[in-house]
Structure 1
Amino acid sequence: MVRNEGRRRELADAGLAVLARDGARGLTHRAVDTEAGVPAGTTSNYFRSRQALIGGLFTRIGERLAPDPDVHAGLAARPPSRELFADYVRDIVTRLTAERDVTLALFELRLEAARRPELRETVGEWLRAGFAGDVEFNRSAGLPGGPAEIALFHYAIDGLLLDRLTTSIDAGTPTDEVVDRLVDGLLPTVVTPR
């Protein structure tokens, strides 16, 4: 049977909406069918198991959170600097907050991986691959900071996103200002990439 890739993406988007709204325990084939408005059994035709569904969700998360090539072309045209690094971080935070359901779904998958060993490796591999890609991007772009600094930014951005997408401790401070403070605090003036 030939799979309709558009339908596959629609089902994955419905799965992300279910995760964001109901959490990982609410993620079932039937719930995705209902969310997508498709006949019962459709999701299981595209994703045979829960593990396959979760794999499809990770693929879709990557697609939906991918950088805009035009934005990145403009950033890449600038010389490397702390300010450029801050603008890349700002772009990441903007994409993650604009795709609220996708980011909340990703947090849900991470929480579920803490409870379910069979999911832990899938989530861990996906996160580590993303981190390695970020470190390599930073190095190849000539931006300040090495793996240790990139890890610190991951930790800080995760906390910032959790704050901005749930209940904030300081909603009055603009997100761009928080990003600037993170860069100032976590990225020394001169950092040699490691």
Structure 2
Amino acid sequence: MARNDQRRSALADAGIRVLADEGARGLTHRAVDAAAGTPRGTASNYFPTRDDLISALVERIGERLSPDPEAIPSRNARPPDRALFAAYLRDVVQRLSADRHVSLALFELRLEAARRPAVADALGAWRQRAFQEDVAFNGASGLPGGPTEIALFHYAIDGLMLDHLTVPLDTGMSVDAVINEFVDRLLR
């Protein structure tokens, strides 16, 4: 079959919605076809196995969470300081918040990874690569903080997003205030 990247992306996007709305147990080829509005069997033509489908979802989540390449040069023109580090954190939170399906699907995959080694392999490789890219970007940009601070950043953002997407604590703090406080404490 000829590769149709648009159809593949549309099916992966439908899979992300299914995963976010129904959880890992609801993620079937048939459910993806229904969510995408494609004939039955289309998803299995593109992703023959469940592991292929999961790998495609991980890849698509990565694409959808990638920063806007046009926004990077304007930020790179700024001096590397705490304020710029905070701006990058805000950008990450904004991208994670832009479509809750993407973030919820990512959390669903992380839970499924605890039960299925194939999911852990696909998701773990992607997460490790993203972490290494973040460390390299931070260093190349001259931003404060090294691998430990970037790891702490990942842990904090994961917790913030899980809270924000599920049953948030009523702390009276805005997301911006949380990020400012986090940056101040992390980079003391």
- If the TM-score is normalised by the length of the shorter chain, which range does it land in? over 0.9
Instruction: Give the corresponding residue for 1:149.
Output: 149
Q: Matches of 1:104 and 1:174 in 2, distance apart?
A: 21
Code of the aligned partner of 2:84 = L
SS in 2 for 1:48: coil
Q: Does 1:160 align with 2:174?
A: no
RMSD: 1.0
Instruction: Give the corresponding residue for 2:133.
Output: 133
Code of the aligned partner of 1:78 = R
State the 1:58 CA deviation. 1.2
> Percent identity between the aligned chains?
61
State the 1:175 CA deviation. 0.7
Give the unaligned 5+ runs of structure 2. none
Instruction: Give the corresponding residue for 2:103.
Output: 103
Aligned length: 188
Instruction: Give the corresponding residue for 1:56.
Output: 56
Contact 1:65 1:99 in 2 (8 A): no
State the 1:172 CA deviation. 3.7
SS in 2 for 1:168: coil
Q: Does 1:179 align with 2:150?
A: no
Render the CA deviation track for 1:25-51: whole Å, top value 9, x for unaligned. Answer: 111100100111111000001111111
Render the CA deviation track for 1:74-120: whole Å, top value 9, x for unaligned. Answer: 11110110110000000000110112110110110011000112321
Contact 2:15 2:27 in 1 (8 A): yes
Give the unaligned 5+ runs of structure 1. 189-194
Q: Matches of 2:142 and 2:170 in 1, distance apart?
A: 33
Code of the aligned partner of 1:150 = I
Instruction: Give the corresponding residue for 2:42.
Output: 42
Contact 2:61 2:102 in 1 (8 A): yes
SS in 2 for 1:69: coil
Which aligned runs of 4 or more in structure 1 are off by greater than 6 angstroms?
Answer: none
TM-score, length of structure 2 as denominator length: 0.97
State the 1:70 CA deviation. 2.2
Q: Matches of 2:123 and 2:72 in 1, distance apart?
A: 26
TM-score, length of structure 1 as denominator length: 0.94
Q: Matches of 2:167 and 2:74 in 1, distance apart?
A: 33
